[in-house]
Amino acid sequence: MEVEVSGLRCAYGRSAAPVVDIEAFAVARGVCGLVGVNGAGKSTLLRTLAGCRRPDGGRATVGGVDLYGRRRRSVVGRIGYMPQQLDLPGELRVAEALDYASWVRDVPSFVARERNREILEQVGLAPRAKDRVLHLSGGMKRRLALAIALVTQPDVLLLDEPTTGLDPEQRAGLRGILADLGLSAVTLLSSHVMEDVVMMADQVAVLEAGRLLHVGPTAAFVAERGGPDGSAEHAFLATIAAARS
Ligand SMILES: Nc1ncnc2c1ncn2[C@@H]1O[C@H](COP(=O)(O)OP(=O)(O)OP(=O)(O)O)[C@@H](O)[C@H]1O
């Protein structure tokens, strides 16, 4: 299932300059890392691709279906979205929160029961299934948000800064989950941490002031722009410096 964007413009306020302005962008499968400095437009783009924020111009499609068109219902249910700002039901227990998310997304309860148990194992929250969400640590809340994004077994997974607050073991766990999903889903993840992008994403997209500066295989991006040390950080900084000069 392909995620595609054409002539996409997003602005906050009628006369404001667009904070996302992308002529064309397509991700067909695997994991694409979306990188950019603070305010580059990553969250706005992901929110728009999740079907949560109507663009001010252009189109965003999933599997050829306009996310804001008449047939949107047929695709928004196939998208799993983990926002940057978590809004979790603190009073519920972890397993209940997942069941609730499944109910909201119309996953039949007989399917959800087994699947949610597996998801809790995957994200390492099975031992905390009976804990109240508000008692979880920051990193655990992030893992729960990831679990919630997975309840529909989405074809498209959008993760906004998924590694924030995760310990090294959990980062490795997230890589494992993405590697499994990479075979079947299109994943777009934003991150400030180039190291995470190199380890998790086979493609990298660089966003600067709402515009797409570069899209391509991560390995080539680092090899060609990473300087003598082959540093991903260097590749990123060189790309935005060239665009600003
Ligand atoms: N609700 C809002 N109202 C007005 N402006 C907003 C709003 N949300 C974001 N912006 C502005 O839009 C621009 C892009 O913000 P966005 O959060 O999409 O960037 P980002 O790349 O995700 O940043 P970060 O890495 O800091 O999370 C920024 O200039 C930001 O100030």
- Give percent of the chain with pLDDT exceeding 90: 72
Mean pLDDT, rounded, for 50-58: 94
Mean pLDDT, rounded, for 211-238: 94
What pLDDT is attached to residue 20? 97
124: which residues sit within 8 A by CB, 6+ positions away?
143, 170, 173
* Nearest residue to 49 (alpha-carbon basis) of 64, 34, 59: 59
Q: How far is the CA of 44 from the centre of ligand 1 (A)?
A: 6
Provide the domain count of the chain. 1
Indicate whether 118 belongs to any domain. yes
4: which residues sit within 8 A by CB, 6+ positions away?
25, 26, 59, 60, 61, 62, 64
Strands 211-217, 203-208: pairing kind: antiparallel
Q: Is 210 in the pocket of ligand 1 (CB under 6 A)?
A: no
Indicate whether 57 belongs to any domain. no
- Give percent of the chain with pLDDT exceeding 70: 99
Q: How far is the CA of 144 from the centre of ligand 1 (A)?
A: 24
Mean pLDDT, rounded, for 216-245: 93
Its domain, for residue 109, covers 86-153
Indicate whether 165 belongs to any domain. no
Indicate whether 100 belongs to any domain. yes
How many CB atoms are closer than 10 A to CB 23? Answer: 12
Mind listing the pLDDT tens digit for each residue in 143-157?
999 999 999 999 999
Mind listing the pLDDT tens digit for each residue in 165-200?
788 888 888 888 777 776 678 999 999 888 889 988
Indicate whether 130 belongs to any domain. yes
What pLDDT is attached to residue 183? 66
Alpha-carbon span 62 to 87, nearest angstrom: 25
Indicate whether 209 belongs to any domain. no
Indicate whether 167 belongs to any domain. no
The protein residue whose alpha carbon is closest to atom 17 in ligand 1 is: 43
What pLDDT is attached to residue 45? 97
Task: Look up residue 25 and give its two tokens.
Answer: 């962008």
Give the atom of ligand 1 at the shortest distance from the alpha carbon of 40: 21
85 or 34, higher pLDDT = 34
DSSP 8-state assignment for residue 163: T
**ipTM of the shown complex:** 0.98
Mean pLDDT, rounded, for 105-132: 93
Indicate whether 111 belongs to any domain. yes
What pLDDT is attached to residue 26? 95
